[in-house]
Amino acid sequence: LGQQGDLAPTEHAELTGLLRRGDTYDASSYSASHAAFKAEQNAVFASLASSLGGAASPVVYLDGPDGGSTSALRAAGFATDQLHVANPHASTCAALSAPPHSLEHVAHASAEEALASEQWRSRAFCAAYFDGCGGQAEPLIAMIRALFHERRAAAAAL
């Protein structure tokens, strides 16, 4: 799995610098049209997850401190114990774990690290929502590889 230790020195330095800045995601800074676009994306994900596994099936996704994706999944009937979020920022994890979101499965890690963890490795998710706000393909590819990694598939089959 693509872990931070697998990065080239320049990539590791860049990632370390970005993580030091903290979570820069601020939903309130977006235009009304962008906020509507994000809400539509979340609604599509919730609808897709509902049709793939139903609201009783676990899902994995990325979310910001505003809990936009979490809110859409809850509106679609997903229970708190079915929601699994990964985020490398402690402040975002704290916001998602606290009311009003009160999520139980929040990993203070990258999606790749969370999917490889003992807690999530054997969990079969009906749907996943990974985005790359930076516009780079490699982080998205790494998340998908982690989701379908052979160790996860073998553990989920047990």
In this prediction, residue 8 carries a pLDDT of 72
Task: Choose among 144, 152, 88, 89: nearest CA to 117.
Answer: 152
- The distance between the two most distant Cα atoms of the chain, rounded to a whole number of Å, is 46
Lowest mean pLDDT among 18-22, 55-59, 93-97: 18-22
The residue type at 74: R
CB-CB contact of 85 with 103 (8 Å): yes
In this prediction, residue 57 carries a pLDDT of 93
Sheet architecture: strand order including 83-87: 105-108, 83-87, 59-62, 127-129
Chain segment 79-117, per-residue pLDDT in tens: 999 999 999 999 999 999 999 999 999 999 999 999 989
In this prediction, residue 87 carries a pLDDT of 92
The residue type at 131: D
Structure tokens at 27: 């939903």
